[in-house]
Amino acid sequence: MMPAFKHRINTALSQREKAGLTRNLKTLDGGNRVQLSCGEQSFINFSNNDYLGLACDKALTDAWQQGLKRYGAGSGASPLVTGFSPAHAGLQSALCEWLGYERAVLFGSGFSANQALLFTLLSKEDVLLQDKLNHASLIEAGRLSDARMKRFKHNDLSHLSRLISTDHNTLVVTEGVFSMDGDKAPLKQIEQEIDQRAWLMVDDAHGIGVLGAYGSGSCHLAGVKPDLLVVTFGKAFGLSGAAVMCSEATGNYLTQFARHYVYSTAIPPSQAYAITCAIDIIQRQQWRRDKLDELAQVYDELFCTLDGYVATSTPIRPFIIGCSERAVRVAAELNKQGFWVTAIRPPTVPEGSSRLRITLTAAHSSEHIVQLAQALKRSLELSQ
Ligand SMILES: Cc1ncc(COP(=O)(O)O)c(C=O)c1O
């Protein structure tokens, strides 16, 4: 029998095309800056997650270069072989001191940290409870894990409480800030609702660096210390990679058994060195968070009367369009007017809630937001 892969691939691609949901990879120069260019054209970028404007910060690029001079390019091996350097050890200590955990276990990405954690921790008799809007990396890891996964309605405490099983080991997983909606989880209430009946894991990819005193994230802001905290370095840190913050015993357990840790090359030491420098900048440069607050005020004043506006207290500003074709048309119209704003469609968000995912960064100016508001009004009219 001929393998069916070719047919499967072509069918999936044409179905996605017919549904108007094809995603296109674009080569962008400056996707990590406010001003980006695509071919000959340039745009104001409202799409990246570099919330504090660190991705191109000179102190950070200098730190990475110093790290390269000091440690060379790659790490050479997985952490338990020879890939764990003083730069990795320094990063772990800085994270533990900052966030108040005994251990930090480093991963190449948030996606792999989430998978590693759920795969390693959960077994067959366990119950995994996830917020319905958790990131794809968490939902997919939960589906593939050995546990029985149930999803509770978004931020719905009573639904969560009903699902907590007293007969089974239970892990509750939520995000600090939801990536596509920009709202926060009610962490304090979730902790109270759980009331020692389960472990709590928080993925704070979008809250760390941005919220809380010294940028210490959603959990510190809420006065909660989850059993497991995942922080990622690809957003406010302006870099990439992730860490699982946990107890000494859990750290030892992950180091022994997490396959994504044991069987994967450690991040380059120069990168660990740069991430440590980013922690220092995040803690010391409060002005970046203050700037985000100022920009948020400007945004709220200008956008709050528009149909589709959603109030959030984070730099993630979803603007709901509803129909996915129209979301794409509005984004294309904005594009024509010199703005780079991404249309987010199913399956990333639920059917009928396609949106523009507008992100503010400390590198924007108020004027950029004024210009975006004018262009959005025009684009909404033109794409009726
Ligand atoms: C909530 C959340 N968790 C995890 C990830 C994955 O992190 P990374 O990009 O480091 O793989 C993302 C990325 O978008 C995210 O939004």
Question: What's the pLDDT score for residue 254?
Answer: 98
Mean pLDDT over residues 239-253, rounded? 98
Tokens of 240: 């990439």
- What confidence tier does 348 reach under pLDDT thresholds 50, 70, 90? confident
Tokens of 251: 């750290």
Q: Is the pLDDT of residue 18 over 80?
A: yes
Among 88, 150, 220, 235, the active-site one is 235
Question: What's the pLDDT score for residue 3?
Answer: 86
Q: Which residues contact 67 (CB under 8 A, 6 or more apart)?
A: 87, 268, 269, 270, 271, 272, 273, 274
Going from the Cα of 359 to the center of ligand 1, the distance in angstroms, rounded, reads 15
pLDDT one-digit tens code per residue, 192-245: 999 999 999 999 999 999 999 999 999 999 999 999 999 999 999 999 999 999
Strands 170-175 and 103-107 come out as: unpaired
Least confident interval from 19-33, 45-59, 91-105: 19-33
Q: Which residues contact 287 (CB under 8 A, 6 or more apart)?
A: 362
Tell me the β-bridge partners of 242. 107, 232
CA distances to 202, 299, 301, 324, 356 from 35, rounded to whole Å, are: 33, 19, 24, 26, 18
How far is Cα 281 from Cα 155, in angstroms, rounded to an integer?
Answer: 32
Mean pLDDT over residues 97-102, rounded? 98
Mean pLDDT over residues 175-198, rounded? 96
- Supply the mean pLDDT for the chain: 96
How far is Cα 99 from Cα 288, in angstroms, rounded to an integer?
Answer: 19
Among 47, 109, 114, 179, the active-site one is 179
CA 383 from centre of chain: 30
How far is Cα 353 from Cα 323, in angstroms, rounded to an integer?
Answer: 7
By CB atoms closer than 10 A (0-12, 13-18, 19+), residue 268 is buried
Decide whether any atom of ligand 1 lies within 6 Å of the 231 Cβ.
no
| Residue written as token pair 């800085």 | 94
Mean pLDDT over residues 151-159, rounded? 97
Decide whether any atom of ligand 1 lies within 6 Å of the 142 Cβ.
no
Q: Which residues contact 274 (CB under 8 A, 6 or more apart)?
A: 60, 63, 64, 67, 239
How far is Cα 137 from Cα 154, in angstroms, rounded to an integer?
Answer: 17
Decide whether any atom of ligand 1 lies within 6 Å of the 175 Cβ.
yes
Amino acid at 49: N
Q: Is the pLDDT of residue 157 over 90?
A: yes
Question: What's the pLDDT score for residue 251?
Answer: 98
Q: Is the pLDDT of residue 1 over 80?
A: no
For the CA of 137, the nearest atom of ligand 1: 4
How far is Cα 218 from Cα 190, in angstroms, rounded to an integer?
Answer: 13
How far is Cα 329 from Cα 335, in angstroms, rounded to an integer?
Answer: 10
Q: Is the pLDDT of residue 302 over 80?
A: yes
Q: Is the pLDDT of residue 23 over 90?
A: no
Decide whether any atom of ligand 1 lies within 6 Å of the 218 Cβ.
no
pLDDT one-digit tens code per residue, 102-128: 999 999 999 999 999 999 999 999 999
Q: Would you call 220 a catalytic residue per the annotation?
A: no
CA distances to 119, 151, 158, 227, 259 from 124, rounded to whole Å, are: 11, 17, 25, 20, 18
Going from the Cα of 281 to the center of ligand 1, the distance in angstroms, rounded, reads 21
Q: Would you call 49 a catalytic residue per the annotation?
A: yes
Question: What's the pLDDT score for residue 384?
Answer: 80
Question: What's the pLDDT score for residue 30?
Answer: 93
- What confidence tier does 22 reach under pLDDT thresholds 50, 70, 90? confident
Specify whether the CB–CB gap between 321 and 330 falls below 8 A: yes
Tell me the β-bridge partners of 38. 41
Q: Is the pLDDT of residue 76 over 90?
A: yes
Going from the Cα of 204 to the center of ligand 1, the distance in angstroms, rounded, reads 9
**Stated pTM of the model:** 0.96
Mean pLDDT over residues 250-275, rounded? 98
The phi and psi torsions of 288 (rounded to 5 degrees) equal -70, -40
For the CA of 49, the nearest atom of ligand 1: 14
Decide whether any atom of ligand 1 lies within 6 Å of the 234 Cβ.
yes
Least confident interval from 37-41, 258-262, 267-271, 299-303: 37-41
Mean pLDDT over residues 135-144, rounded? 96
Proportion of the chain above pLDDT 70, given as a percent: 100
Question: What's the pLDDT score for residue 321?
Answer: 96
- What confidence tier does 92 reach under pLDDT thresholds 50, 70, 90? very high
Q: Is the pLDDT of residue 165 over 80?
A: no
- Bond into 318 cis (ω within 30): no
- What confidence tier does 356 reach under pLDDT thresholds 50, 70, 90? very high
